[in-house]
Amino acid sequence: MAKTIFITGASRGFGNLWAEAFLKRGDNVAATSRNVSGLQYLADTYGSAFLPLALDITDRAQCLAAVQQAHAHFGTLDVVINNAGYGLFGAVEEVEEQAVRDILDANLLGTLWVMQAALPLMRAQGSGHLIQLSSVLGITSAAGSGIYSATKFAVEGLSEALYHEVKGFGIHVTVVEPNVFKTDFGGASAVHSPTIAAYDQAKASLYGLPAFHPDNYGEPTATVPAILQLVDAPNPPLRLFMGKAAYPWAQHVYAKRLASWAEWQPVAERAHG
> Residues 92, 146: contact at Cβ < 8 Å?
yes
Residues 246 and 136: beta-carbon distance below 8 Å: yes
Q: How far apart are the first and last CA of the chain?
A: 58
Catalytic status, residue 127: no
Rounded Cα distance, 7 and 29, in Å: 7
Q: Are 17 and 7 in contact (CB under 8 A)?
A: no
Q: In sequence order, what DSSP letters do the residues of 193-221 get, joined into one string?
A: ----GGGHHHHHGGGGSGGGSGGGPBPGG
Beta bridge partners of 192: 89
* Cα 43 to Cα 47: distance, rounded to the nearest angstrom: 5
Instruction: Report the DSSP beta bridge partners of residue 88.
Output: 191
Say how far apart CA 179 and CA 186 lie, in whole Å: 12
| Cα 258 from Cα 240, distance rounded (Å) | 21
How, if at all, do strands 28-33 and 4-7 pair? parallel
C-alpha span between 147 and 177 (Å, rounded): 17
**Crossing angle of helices 13-24 and 223-232, rounded to 10°:** 60
Candidates 148, 149, 159, 203; catalytic one: 148
Among the options 86, 135, 152, 203, which is catalytic?
152
d(CA 256, CA 261): 9
Residue type, 150: A
134 classed as catalytic: yes
- Catalytic annotation, pick one of 33, 134, 145, 159: 134
Q: Which residues are catalytic?
A: 134, 148, 152
